[in-house]
Structure formats: C-alpha cells, structure tokens
Amino acid sequence: MTDEVLFFDTLRQGLWIAFVISLPILVVALVTGVAIGLIQALTSVQEMTLTFVPKLGAIVIVFWISMGFMTNTLVAFFQDRIILLIIGG
C-alpha cells in the first residue's frame, strides 16, 4: 500500500469512529430538543433555560452511560491501527 492510501484509509476509519462515538449523544440531544420544543409550542412557554437544562442533563446521562463504549472503541482503534502505524507494522 502506498503512503497516501494508508493515510486516507486511516483518516476514513478515524472519522467513522468519531461519528459512531458521537452518535448516541447527538441523537439524545436531537430528541430532547425536539421534545422540549414541542412542549414549548404547545404551552407557549418560551423560557431559554427550559431547553438548555433538560438537554444538558440528558447529554450528561448518556455520556456517563456510554463512556465505556466510547473508551473501548477509541482504545481499540489506537491499538489496532495507530500504534501499528507508529511502530511500522
């Protein structure tokens, strides 16, 4: 494999890992934001903290739950791909 192909393949894998790791948090933020927006539209309450606080709480909870998955995914990527590239294997 040439260096360019190896570089772009590693970059592609890194971007995919970043997408997979961020997906749970982004989905929860989206669903929470839509739900709060719907509640605000139905009740005509337009308070800024009403959208911020529940969304932040949901993101923190999902981050705490999925932290092990995120860590294992990143460690596996670095051990299987990046470290092998560094040592030249």
Q: What angle is formed at CA 63 by the lines to CA 61 and CA 67, rounded to 5 degrees? A: 125
Q: What is the pLDDT of residue 67?
A: 96
List, for residues 55-79, the tens digit of each pLDDT value.
Answer: 999 999 999 999 999 999 999 999 9
Q: What tokens does 7 get?
A: 């570089």
Q: What is the pLDDT of residue 89?
A: 62
Those residues whose C-beta lies under 8 Å from the C-beta of residue 66, and which sit 6 or more positions away, are 24, 25
Stretches in the chain below the pLDDT threshold 70: 1, 89
